[in-house]
Structure 1
């Protein structure tokens, strides 16, 4: 199981079980994705736990006893990479209101909104709402 799968399964289980905290393993990739979700307003904070392996403690944000982050879904997988051009990304974002993407571009890992503003396409990593 790779880092993206572990991150998604940990966050989705925390959402499903209405947990306030979620512990995920530390990696640069996980830190960047969690920082994006923090900036988007889905998390309260990200802390670090010291143990044999460094881990991150993510505090989920709730509103009226429901998680603000409803789901996180992986689009690109190790055997099936999905690359979208700027036009396909623009069409998707305008057709599905409220659904956002995390995309790996040549400028780094960005949200769909940032990628559209920079007129970039790339590998679509996650879909979230």
Structure 2
């Protein structure tokens, strides 16, 4: 078990995409659930479901691929803020990822949101990761 559940989640999704898995199993935490829900709303994963197995909670994430089954929708994931070095941005410092082609995911006082939503709300927060 790792202390950084967000990095663990991103690594499992990244590895699942690299080898072409349809489903990856992630430990269920409130933060992971909100992040997966955001990825689903942005159309980066097909779907997810929560499962209780042997008294532990898991999230099964169904990965999404383009028409070519070896080409995942999520091309890259990069963790920005880590437990040892937190990265915070104000509303005017929110980065764009790949010229607007990717997303930056932030944890704000109004919940988890993308860089586009945070710019619209004019709110900053902790910059969690980039996805493209």
TM-score interval for Structure 1 and Structure 2 normalised by the shorter chain: over 0.9
- Contact 1:15/1:71 (8 A) holds in 2: no
**Corresponding residue number in structure 2 for 1:101:** 104
1:25 and 2:27 correspond: yes
Aligned to 2:114: 111
Match of 1:61 in 2: 64
- Give TM-score scaled by structure 2 length: 0.90
Aligned to 1:121: 124
TM-score normalized by the length of structure 1: 0.92
Structure 1's unaligned 5+ residue stretches are none
Q: Is it true that 1:72 corresponds to 2:74 in the alignment?
A: no
Task: Please state how far the C-alpha of 1:97 moved relative to its aligned partner.
Answer: 3.0
How has the CA–CA distance of structure 1 residues 94 and 56 changed in structure 2, closer, same or farther, with 3 Å as cutoff? closer
- Quote the RMSD (CA, aligned, Å): 1.4
Q: Larger % of helix: which?
A: 1
Is this contact kept in 1: 2:13–2:24, CA < 8 A? yes
Where does the alignment leave 5 or more consecutive residues of structure 2 unmatched?
none
